Chain A
Amino acid sequence: MNPGVRAARKTDRMDNRNDSAQKDSSGGSAPAPSPSPSPSTPTATEAGSSYFPAEESSPAGERQFLRFSRLNRALHIFLIISFLTLALTGLTLKFSYTGWAVLLSHLLGGFESAGSLHRFAAVIMFAVFFIHVIDVLRMKKRDGRTWKSMIFSPDSMMFNGKDLSDFIGSVKWFVGRGPRPRFGRWTYWEKFDYFAVFWGVAVIGSTGLMLWFPELFTNFMPGSLLNVATIIHSDEALLAVGFIFTVHFFNTHLRPEKFPMDIVIFTGRMDVDEFALDKPAEYEELVKSGRLESRLVEPYQPIVTRAVKAFGWTALTIGFSVVLWIIYAMLFAYR
C-alpha cells in the first residue's frame, strides 16, 4: 500500500470516523436534500462556482475522493501565503526601479516593514518545509518502511520510469500520436513542482540567510560572496515566482479541463469521476484492491467551497499581477 493513500485514509478516518461510519452504512441516501434536485439542471455539478447555489441542487450527497491529507492541505495554504508574501516583498526590491515597486513598498509599510514581512514569511516557509520533512519521516516510521521501498513505490514523489514514459506519452499525446498517458498518483509535472520547492528552499533559503545575517556569514566568507548570494537569491526567486505563477498555475488551474481553478489542494476532495479520468492508473489500482471506498468522503459545505475559491482567486490574482509586473519590469523598464 502506498504511503500517501494510507496516510490520507488514516487521517480521514480519524477526522471523520463518525461520518465515515454513517456513510458506509447509509450510502448516498444520507443527505436529505439529494432526492429533491431538479433533473433539469445538468450544470448542477458546477453549482459551487455560482454565488447563490441552490442548496437542493447541490450534489452534496455525492461522496468525493479524498486526495490530500489535512496536514498537506494546511501546509500548502501556508506555503501559498508565505510564498506570495516573499514574492511581493522581495520583488519590490528586485524591481525597485519601477513605480509599481515603490507603490507596493509603501503599501507594505515601507522597506523595513517589507523586510520584516519577508523574513517572517521565510520563517513560515522554512517551517512548512521542515514540518513536511518531519511528516515524511513520521510516515516512514509509522509504516515501518525502508527508504528504498518508500522511494521506489509507485505512489512515491520520486521520479521513476513511469514518469519518463508518461512524459514521452504526453508529448506524443500533445502532437496527436497517442492517447493521454494513464497517470498514477502523481504526474511527472506534479513531481517536478514538488522538487522545485525542495530546490528552491535550499538555494533561496541558504542565500537568503546569508543576506539576513551578513555580519555572521562574513566571519568565514569573503564579503563579495554576498554579491553572489544576492544574484542567486534574486534570480532563483524570479525563476520560482515565474514558474509557479505561469507553469504551475496552468498545469493545475488554467488548463481547460480545470479552468478556472482546481480547488482539490484546499478541500482535498475531488469528484470520483473526475479523479478516475485524471489519474486512471491510481483509480484502477484502488478499485482493483477495493480500497476506493475507504477514500470516499462527504464533500464540504458550499460555504467552505466558496471561501476556498475566494482564497484561490486572491492567490491567483496576486500571482498573475506579479507576472504582469515582472513582464513590465523586464521588458519596458529594465536597466
Chain B
Amino acid sequence: MIRRIFITPALLLLLAIPAFAQEDADCLSCHEDKSLEGRRGGKKISVYVNANTHAGSVHGSNGCVSCHAGLAGKQFPHEEDVAPVDCGGCHSAEQAEESKSLHGQAAARGDRLAPRCNDCHGTHNILPKSDRNSAISPLKIPFLCGKCHQEGSPVQRQRVIHQDNILENFSESIHGEGLLRKGLIVAPNCASCHTGHSILPHTNPASSIARKNIASTCAKCHAEIETVHRKVIKGELWEKEQHVLPACVDCHQPHKVRKVYYTQGMADRDCLTCHERPDLKSSRDGRPLFVRAQELGVSRHQKISCSQCHSDVNASNVRPCDAITKKVDCSSCHAEVGQQFTVSLHGKLVTNNDPNGPACKECHGQHGVKGKLDPSSPTFPTNVPLLCARCHREGQKAAVRYTGIEHQIIELYTESIHGKGLMKSGLTVTAMCSNCHTPHSVLPRSDSLSSVNPRNLPKTCGKCHHGIEEQFQKSIHSKLVSKSGKDLPVCDDCHTAHKIRRADSQGFKLEIMQQCGRCHEKIAETYFDTYHGKVSQLGYTKTAKCYDCHGAHDILPVADPRSHLSHDNVVGTCQKCHEGASRRFAGYLTHATHHDPEKYPFLFWTFWGMTSLLIGTFLLGGVHTLLWLPRAFQYRRLLKAKHLEEKNGAQPPGAADDEPGSAGGPKDGQDG
C-alpha cells in the first residue's frame, strides 16, 4: 500500500521532468502528501513538507533546490538517502565557526549525538531569532539547549560535560529568572555566553568562556561591572590581568549565578551602616540587631557576604533588608547536614517550633560561627560537653524534658575516662558527645536509626575501639553470632553510657560482676559462694572475676573450642594466676554451690553433714549450759553467803592461820 502511494506520485514526477524546469510546485506535488515517506540510512522517515510553513520561514523565497542542491535537475522520483542540506553554502561564516566548535567537531567524528544545523534551527520552518516562535528565540534557547543538556539526557550521561543540572541551575539563577520568569528577552540565555555557533570548552583559549574571555563575555551585558565590584578591583583590570584576578565565574558559578551573589561586594558595607550600631533593635520585637563586624571578620564565614545567608534581601529596595521574611536557612549551603538535622530529634523540635528546639545557631553561633577545628569554637571537641551541657545539665531545659534513665550525664561524663581524657588530658581525639550521638543526627536510643541504638552501638564505639568491636562481633554476645532471642548486651550495658571508667579501675572491676549477674543470675550467685567471689565481694579485685576466666569481649560458650574455658584452654587460663595449675587443678568448681543436691550432691551432703555436726554440738552445749544456768546462780549465791560467813568468822584468828581454815571451810560446806 505504502509502496503504491509512493510510486504513483513518483511516476507522475518522472513524467513531468522533461516537460518543466524544476519548480517548487513540482517538488510539492509529491512532498505535500502528508503520508509520503522516504528512506535515510535504511530508516523510514516522513518526507512531507508543509508548503505554508516553508513559505513563512526565512527561506520562504528560496526554492527547494537552493538548499537541496543535490536534487537539482534530478529525475523524479529522485533516489533515496538524499544528501543533507549544506547550510554553509549561504551561511559560510556560521558554518566555519560551527565546524570548529564542540558540536561541529563531534559531528565530524561521526558522533551520532552531535547536533546539526537543523537540530537547533529546524528545517523548512526556520524563523529569525527575533521571532517569538523561533526555536532560537531567547526565551526558547534554554529549552532548545536543554533538549540535550538536561539531566538524564544521553549527551549529559554519555559525554563529558563538566557541569550538571545545567538547566535547573540556570532556571533558578538570576539570569534564568529574568529570562524565564520575568520574560526579559534581554536577559542572557545559553547562547549569550556560549555563543551560538562557536561553542568551545572553557579550556580552549578561543572560547567565550575561557578564563581570559569571561570578563569580556560578562561585560557584554555587565558593562559597568566595576562600579559594583569596587571593593574588589577596578573592573578594567579583569580584562587586562585575568591570570591574577578572579574571573567572574570564580564567584558567580556558571549556571548557578544566583541572585544573592548579585549583592555581593556592596552588601556587607551597606548592611553595616546600620548594623554596626550597638543600640540597633528590631522595630518588630525589640531584639538587638547589632552585628559585630570584627566577629564576622574572624569567623568561618568571613568570605561570605551578609546577603548570602540573609538571602531575602532585595537590592532594588531602598532598604534591601525590608524584603527579609525568613530566618537564615543554613541548609541552602549545608544541604547534607541540613537533611540530617531535619530528621534528628533536635531538628524535629525546631520544625515543630518548639521553643526548646536548638537551631543551628544555638550550637554554632551566628555571625561569629567558627569551624570545629578552631579552639575558640563552641564545637571544638573540648568545648562540646559544655555546649551540650547548656541544655542537658540536670535542671536545664533538655534534662527536664528527658524521661529516660540517664541522669547527671554531664557530671558523669566529666568524671568518665572519656571526659577525663578530653577535659583533663586535653586529648581532642577523645570521645565526646557528638562522637557517639553524632552532631546532627541526634536521635533517642530507642530509635533504630540512632547511633546509640543497641543495634548500632558496637559500630559507634567501634569507630575508635575498632579492635574491640572486631572481637565483640565474633563473641556470643554479638547479634551476628548468637541466635538467642534474648536481649543481648552491647557496649553500654557493661560500660555504662556516660560514666565509663577505665576497665582496669577498681570500681569497674567490681561492678562488672553485677553487670554479668543481671542476665546470668544463677551463675553469678554461685560464683559468690566460692573463694574468688567472696574476695571480690570484700571489695578486692586481685582475684578471678567473670572476665578473667571467660574473656571480656571475646566471650564464647565453654563448649566452643576457641573459648578461654574450653578443654584445651582452661588450664592455661587458670595458670594466668595459679602458675602451678594442672589439669586436675582446673577441676576446681568455680561456680560450685552446696545448695544444689542435683548438680553437686557431694557438696550438698558435705555441707549438711557439717551443719548437722554443728547443730548437734551446739544443741548439746546449749542445753547443757541452759540447764546449768539456774543451778549456777544458786551456787553463786551459796558461795557468796559462805564467803561472807567465812570472812566474818575467820577474821579474829588472824591472817596467818586463815588459809588452811578457809580452804577447808567450803569443802566442809559442800560436803554437808
- Give the interface of A toward B (CB within 8 A): 27-29, 34-35, 37, 39, 42, 45, 59, 61-63, 92-94, 96-97, 101-102, 105-106, 110-112, 170-171, 173-176, 180, 189, 211, 214-216, 218-219, 221-224, 226-228, 230-232, 235-236, 238-239, 242-243, 246-247, 250-251, 255-257, 259, 272-277, 280, 283-284, 335
Contacts and interface: CB of A to CB of B under 8 A. Distances in A.
A231 B589 CA distance: 12
Contacts of B628: 170, 174, 250, 255
6 contacts: A34-B656, A39-B651, A62-B659, A96-B538, A173-B631, A273-B666
B410 to A, nearest CB: 31
Given A231-B594, A231-B610, A235-B611, A42 B647 contact: yes
Interface string B635-672: 11001000110111001000111110011111100110
Nearest to B646: A273
Contacts of A335: 525, 528
Given A96-B538, A247-B625, A280 B636 contact: no
Interface stretch (B284-292, B297-305, B614-622): B614-622
Contacts of A238: 614
Nearest to B635: A257
B663 A224 contact: no
Highest count of chain B CB atoms <10 Å: which of A214, A236, A280: A214
Given A272-B659, A273-B662, A277-B670, A256 B607 contact: no
Contact of B592 (A224, A275, A280): A224
- A27, A174, A176, A275: which has the most chain B beta carbons within 10 Å? A174
| Residue of B584, B586, B610, B657 with highest tally of chain A CB at under 10 A | B584
Nearest to A92: B538
Contact of B582 (A59, A215, A273): A215
Interface in B81-102: none
Interface in B567-607: 578-582, 584-589, 592, 594, 600, 602-603, 606-607
B602 A256 contact: no
A238 B618 CA distance: 11
B639 A93 contact: no
A111 B538 contact: yes
A320 to B, nearest CB: 15
A200 B578 CA distance: 28
Given A232-B610, A247-B622, A227 B589 contact: yes
Contacts of A247: 618, 621-622, 624-625
Given A62-B658, A224-B589, A239-B614, A251 B625 contact: yes
Contacts of A92: 538
A235 B614 contact: yes
B669 to A, nearest CB: 8
Contacts of A256: 629, 632-633, 635-636
B627 interface: yes
A223 B639 CA distance: 58
B668 to A, nearest CB: 9
Given A93-B535, A219-B584, A280-B667, 18 more contacts: A34-B655, A62-B658, A63-B659, A96-B538, A171-B627, A218-B588, A223-B587, A231-B594, A235-B611, A236-B613, A242-B614, A243-B621, A246-B625, A247-B618, A247-B625, A250-B625, A250-B628, A277-B667
Contacts of B592: 224, 227
Given A28-B656, A110-B540, A223-B585, A277 B666 contact: yes
Nearest to A255: B632
A93 B538 contact: yes
Consensus secondary structure, chain A interface: helix
Nearest to A101: B538
Contacts of A63: 659
Contacts of A283: 663, 667
B530 interface: yes
Interface residues of B, number: 70
Contact of A215 (B538, B585, B618): B585
Contacts of A221: 584
Contacts of A226: 588
B542 interface: yes
B638 to A, nearest CB: 9
A216 B578 CA distance: 11
Nearest to B626: A174
Nearest to B600: A227
Contacts of B622: 246-247
Given A97-B528, A215-B585, A222-B584, A175 B627 contact: yes
Contacts of A276: 663-664, 666-667, 670
Nearest to B651: A39
B46 interface: no
B70 interface: no
A200 to B, nearest CB: 11
Nearest to A45: B643
Given A102-B539, A105-B539, A255-B632, A224 B588 contact: yes
B214 to A, nearest CB: 81
A243 B540 contact: no
Contacts of B588: 214, 218, 223-224, 226-227
Contacts of A277: 639, 666-667, 670
A79 to B, nearest CB: 19
A250 B665 CA distance: 26
Contacts of A37: 655
B534 interface: yes
A272 B616 CA distance: 36
A102 B588 CA distance: 25
Nearest to A28: B656
Nearest to B634: A256
B610 A273 contact: no
A45 B627 CA distance: 29
B402 interface: no
Nearest to A246: B621
A106 B535 CA distance: 12
Contacts of B351: none
Given A174-B631, A247-B621, A102 B538 contact: yes
A93 B531 contact: yes
A333 to B, nearest CB: 12
B641 to A, nearest CB: 12
B537 interface: yes
B658 to A, nearest CB: 7
A256 B640 CA distance: 11
B603 A227 contact: yes
Given A28-B655, A276-B663, A215 B602 contact: no
Contact of A235 (B607, B639, B647): B607
Contact of A239 (B578, B617, B651): B617
Rank and list the top 6 A-B pairs by shortest CB-CB distance, nearest first: A223-B587, A215-B580, A235-B610, A247-B621, A223-B588, A256-B636
Given A223-B589, A256-B633, A284 B658 contact: no
Contacts of A175: 627
Contacts of A235: 607, 610-611, 613-614
Contact of A106 (B539, B543, B618, B656): B539
Contacts of B584: 218-219, 221-223
Given A42-B644, A223-B587, A227-B592, A218 B538 contact: no
Contacts of B624: 170, 189, 247
A223 B657 CA distance: 69
